[in-house]
Amino acid sequence: MTELNLILLGPPGAGKGTQGERLTSAQPLEYVVTGEILRAAVRERSELGLKAKGFMDAGELVPDELVIDLILERVRGEAASDGFVLDGFPRTIAQGEALDAALAQLGRDLNGALLIEVPDEEIVRRLSGRRVSQSGRVYHVEFDPPKVEGKDDVDGTDLIQRDDDKPDTIRKRLSVYHAQTAPLIGYYEERGLLHRFDGTLGVDEVADHVAKTVSTLRLEDDV
Protein backbone atom coordinates (compact mmCIF):
# COMPACT_ATOMS: atom_id res chain seq x y z
CA MET A 1 0.00 0.00 0.00
CA THR A 2 1.37 3.37 -1.03
CA GLU A 3 1.44 6.01 1.67
CA LEU A 4 -1.06 8.85 1.48
CA ASN A 5 -0.18 12.19 3.07
CA LEU A 6 -2.97 14.75 3.41
CA ILE A 7 -3.71 18.07 5.05
CA LEU A 8 -7.06 19.48 6.17
CA LEU A 9 -7.98 23.06 5.30
CA GLY A 10 -10.97 25.21 6.19
CA PRO A 11 -12.12 28.00 8.49
CA PRO A 12 -12.54 27.54 12.25
CA GLY A 13 -15.80 25.72 12.90
CA ALA A 14 -15.92 24.04 9.49
CA GLY A 15 -15.73 20.58 11.04
CA LYS A 16 -12.13 19.66 10.23
CA GLY A 17 -11.67 17.82 13.52
CA THR A 18 -14.80 15.71 13.04
CA GLN A 19 -13.84 14.81 9.50
CA GLY A 20 -10.23 14.13 10.46
CA GLU A 21 -11.34 11.69 13.15
CA ARG A 22 -13.83 10.01 10.81
CA LEU A 23 -11.24 9.62 8.06
CA THR A 24 -8.45 8.26 10.23
CA SER A 25 -10.76 5.81 11.98
CA ALA A 26 -11.62 4.31 8.59
CA GLN A 27 -8.20 4.55 6.91
CA PRO A 28 -4.74 3.46 8.17
CA LEU A 29 -3.62 7.08 8.46
CA GLU A 30 -2.10 8.84 11.46
CA TYR A 31 -4.13 11.87 12.56
CA VAL A 32 -1.64 14.63 13.39
CA VAL A 33 -3.32 17.57 15.14
CA THR A 34 -0.63 20.17 15.77
CA GLY A 35 -2.20 21.63 18.90
CA GLU A 36 -2.51 18.19 20.46
CA ILE A 37 1.02 17.04 19.65
CA LEU A 38 2.38 20.32 21.00
CA ARG A 39 0.49 19.93 24.28
CA ALA A 40 1.54 16.27 24.52
CA ALA A 41 5.21 17.13 23.98
CA VAL A 42 5.05 19.76 26.73
CA ARG A 43 3.22 17.38 29.07
CA GLU A 44 5.72 14.57 28.43
CA ARG A 45 8.64 17.00 28.85
CA SER A 46 10.35 15.74 25.72
CA GLU A 47 13.31 17.70 24.35
CA LEU A 48 11.13 19.42 21.78
CA GLY A 49 8.39 19.87 24.35
CA LEU A 50 10.70 21.67 26.75
CA LYS A 51 11.83 23.99 23.98
CA ALA A 52 8.21 24.73 23.10
CA LYS A 53 7.32 25.30 26.75
CA GLY A 54 10.02 27.95 27.00
CA PHE A 55 8.36 29.97 24.24
CA MET A 56 4.88 29.42 25.64
CA ASP A 57 5.88 30.43 29.16
CA ALA A 58 7.33 33.62 27.73
CA GLY A 59 4.04 34.36 26.00
CA GLU A 60 5.59 33.87 22.57
CA LEU A 61 4.44 31.84 19.59
CA VAL A 62 6.19 28.53 19.11
CA PRO A 63 8.46 28.99 16.03
CA ASP A 64 7.40 27.30 12.81
CA GLU A 65 10.64 25.31 12.73
CA LEU A 66 9.87 23.76 16.11
CA VAL A 67 6.29 22.93 15.14
CA ILE A 68 7.56 21.25 11.95
CA ASP A 69 10.09 19.27 13.99
CA LEU A 70 7.22 18.00 16.15
CA ILE A 71 5.24 17.05 13.05
CA LEU A 72 8.23 15.24 11.52
CA GLU A 73 8.81 13.37 14.78
CA ARG A 74 5.23 12.12 14.57
CA VAL A 75 5.17 11.19 10.89
CA ARG A 76 8.43 9.25 11.21
CA GLY A 77 6.64 6.84 13.54
CA GLU A 78 5.31 3.43 12.58
CA ALA A 79 1.71 4.65 12.96
CA ALA A 80 2.26 7.03 10.02
CA SER A 81 3.99 4.53 7.75
CA ASP A 82 0.91 4.35 5.51
CA GLY A 83 0.44 8.10 5.61
CA PHE A 84 -1.04 10.88 7.73
CA VAL A 85 -3.70 13.56 7.93
CA LEU A 86 -2.35 16.89 9.18
CA ASP A 87 -4.75 19.30 10.90
CA GLY A 88 -3.80 22.79 12.16
CA PHE A 89 -0.67 23.36 10.08
CA PRO A 90 0.24 25.01 7.78
CA ARG A 91 -1.64 28.26 8.35
CA THR A 92 0.32 30.46 5.96
CA ILE A 93 1.99 30.00 2.58
CA ALA A 94 5.41 30.40 4.24
CA GLN A 95 4.55 27.54 6.58
CA GLY A 96 3.32 25.48 3.64
CA GLU A 97 6.59 25.97 1.81
CA ALA A 98 8.59 25.11 4.91
CA LEU A 99 6.53 21.96 5.45
CA ASP A 100 7.05 20.89 1.83
CA ALA A 101 10.82 21.28 2.19
CA ALA A 102 10.89 19.38 5.49
CA LEU A 103 8.84 16.48 4.13
CA ALA A 104 11.03 16.34 1.02
CA GLN A 105 14.03 15.71 3.27
CA LEU A 106 12.20 12.59 4.47
CA GLY A 107 11.47 11.59 0.88
CA ARG A 108 7.75 12.25 1.37
CA ASP A 109 5.26 14.51 -0.40
CA LEU A 110 1.74 15.73 0.18
CA ASN A 111 -0.83 13.87 -1.92
CA GLY A 112 -3.81 16.11 -1.29
CA ALA A 113 -5.26 19.12 0.52
CA LEU A 114 -8.85 18.56 1.67
CA LEU A 115 -10.73 21.87 1.92
CA ILE A 116 -13.99 21.96 3.88
CA GLU A 117 -15.85 25.08 2.77
CA VAL A 118 -18.44 26.81 4.95
CA PRO A 119 -19.71 30.42 4.52
CA ASP A 120 -18.73 32.90 7.22
CA GLU A 121 -22.26 33.49 8.49
CA GLU A 122 -22.82 29.76 8.90
CA ILE A 123 -19.58 29.58 10.91
CA VAL A 124 -20.80 32.42 13.14
CA ARG A 125 -24.15 30.62 13.58
CA ARG A 126 -22.45 27.36 14.52
CA LEU A 127 -19.90 28.72 16.95
CA SER A 128 -21.89 31.52 18.59
CA GLY A 129 -24.64 29.08 19.54
CA ARG A 130 -22.37 27.02 21.78
CA ARG A 131 -22.94 27.07 25.53
CA VAL A 132 -20.74 25.39 28.14
CA SER A 133 -21.39 24.15 31.66
CA GLN A 134 -19.01 24.55 34.58
CA SER A 135 -18.19 20.86 34.18
CA GLY A 136 -17.28 21.30 30.52
CA ARG A 137 -20.39 19.81 28.92
CA VAL A 138 -21.12 21.53 25.62
CA TYR A 139 -24.56 22.38 24.23
CA HIS A 140 -25.82 24.36 21.25
CA VAL A 141 -28.86 26.59 21.46
CA GLU A 142 -30.06 25.36 18.06
CA PHE A 143 -28.51 21.98 17.30
CA ASP A 144 -28.20 20.44 20.79
CA PRO A 145 -30.14 22.56 23.32
CA PRO A 146 -30.35 21.75 27.03
CA LYS A 147 -33.66 20.48 28.42
CA VAL A 148 -34.08 23.75 30.32
CA GLU A 149 -32.88 26.88 28.54
CA GLY A 150 -29.60 28.16 29.97
CA LYS A 151 -29.21 25.27 32.44
CA ASP A 152 -26.97 22.21 32.44
CA ASP A 153 -28.93 18.97 32.08
CA VAL A 154 -26.90 17.19 34.76
CA ASP A 155 -26.40 19.64 37.63
CA GLY A 156 -28.67 22.54 36.71
CA THR A 157 -25.91 25.15 36.83
CA ASP A 158 -25.93 28.12 34.46
CA LEU A 159 -24.52 27.66 30.99
CA ILE A 160 -22.15 30.32 29.68
CA GLN A 161 -21.02 31.55 26.30
CA ARG A 162 -17.24 31.57 26.15
CA ASP A 163 -15.53 34.70 24.89
CA ASP A 164 -14.16 32.72 21.94
CA ASP A 165 -17.73 31.91 20.91
CA LYS A 166 -19.02 35.48 20.81
CA PRO A 167 -19.88 36.72 17.29
CA ASP A 168 -17.35 39.59 17.27
CA THR A 169 -14.54 37.26 18.30
CA ILE A 170 -15.53 34.67 15.71
CA ARG A 171 -15.55 37.28 12.96
CA LYS A 172 -12.08 38.41 13.98
CA ARG A 173 -10.85 34.81 13.77
CA LEU A 174 -12.44 34.49 10.34
CA SER A 175 -10.75 37.71 9.24
CA VAL A 176 -7.38 36.27 10.26
CA TYR A 177 -8.22 33.04 8.43
CA HIS A 178 -9.06 34.85 5.19
CA ALA A 179 -5.94 37.03 5.39
CA GLN A 180 -3.39 34.39 6.40
CA THR A 181 -4.66 30.86 5.73
CA ALA A 182 -7.06 31.13 2.78
CA PRO A 183 -4.18 31.94 0.36
CA LEU A 184 -3.10 28.31 0.85
CA ILE A 185 -6.15 27.33 -1.18
CA GLY A 186 -4.61 28.80 -4.32
CA TYR A 187 -1.18 27.48 -3.34
CA TYR A 188 -2.40 23.87 -3.32
CA GLU A 189 -4.85 24.33 -6.20
CA GLU A 190 -2.03 25.44 -8.50
CA ARG A 191 -0.24 22.18 -7.70
CA GLY A 192 -3.31 20.06 -8.43
CA LEU A 193 -3.62 18.93 -4.81
CA LEU A 194 -6.81 20.72 -3.74
CA HIS A 195 -10.12 18.91 -3.20
CA ARG A 196 -13.20 20.90 -2.14
CA PHE A 197 -16.04 19.71 0.07
CA ASP A 198 -19.31 21.43 0.96
CA GLY A 199 -19.15 21.68 4.74
CA THR A 200 -22.78 22.83 5.00
CA LEU A 201 -23.93 19.28 4.29
CA GLY A 202 -24.55 16.80 7.08
CA VAL A 203 -21.55 15.31 8.86
CA ASP A 204 -22.15 11.84 7.41
CA GLU A 205 -22.54 13.18 3.87
CA VAL A 206 -19.32 15.21 4.09
CA ALA A 207 -17.51 12.18 5.52
CA ASP A 208 -18.78 10.03 2.65
CA HIS A 209 -17.54 12.53 0.05
CA VAL A 210 -14.16 12.78 1.77
CA ALA A 211 -13.82 8.99 1.99
CA LYS A 212 -14.59 8.56 -1.72
CA THR A 213 -12.04 11.21 -2.67
CA VAL A 214 -9.36 9.65 -0.49
CA SER A 215 -10.08 6.19 -1.91
CA THR A 216 -9.68 7.63 -5.42
CA LEU A 217 -6.39 9.27 -4.45
CA ARG A 218 -5.19 5.95 -3.07
CA LEU A 219 -6.05 4.16 -6.31
CA GLU A 220 -4.42 6.86 -8.46
CA ASP A 221 -1.27 6.72 -6.38
CA ASP A 222 -1.12 2.90 -6.63
CA VAL A 223 -1.32 2.94 -10.43
- What pLDDT is stored for residue 3 in this prediction? 87
SS in 3 state form for 174-216?
HHHHHHHHCHHHHHHHHCCCEEEEECCCCHHHHHHHHHHHHHH
pLDDT bracket for residue 1 (50, 70, 90)? very low
212 assigned to active site: no
Query: Of 162, 172, 191, 212, which residue is the catalytic one?
Result: 162
Residue 223 has pLDDT above 70, yes or no: no
Interval 63-88: pLDDT, tens: 999 999 999 999 998 889 999 999 99
Residue 91 has pLDDT above 90, yes or no: yes
16 assigned to active site: yes
**What pTM was estimated for this model as a whole?**
0.90
Answer yes or no: CATH 3.20.20.70 is held by domain 4-118+180-222.
no
130 assigned to active site: yes
Tell me how crowded residue 36 is: count the other CB atoms within 10 A of its CB.
Answer: 14
Query: Of 22, 74, 126, 130, which residue is the catalytic one?
Result: 130
Is 144 in a helix, a strand, or coil? Answer: strand
125 assigned to active site: no
Q: Where are the domains of the chain?
A: 4-118+180-222
Query: Of 51, 137, 171, 173, which residue is the catalytic one?
Result: 173
Interval 127-184: pLDDT, tens: 999 999 998 999 999 999 999 999 999 999 999 999 999 999 999 999 999 999 999 9
The Cα 167–Cα 183 span in angstroms is: 24
119-155 burial by CB neighbour count: b if 16+ within 10 A, else e?
A: eeeebbbbbbbbbebeeeeebeeeeeebeeeebbeee
61-89 burial by CB neighbour count: b if 16+ within 10 A, else e?
A: ebebebbbbbbbebbeeeebebbbbbbbb
- What pLDDT is stored for residue 221 in this prediction? 64
Query: Of 39, 51, 53, 91, which residue is the catalytic one?
Result: 91
45 assigned to active site: no
What's the rounded mean pLDDT across residues 177-194? 96
Residue 185 has pLDDT above 60, yes or no: yes
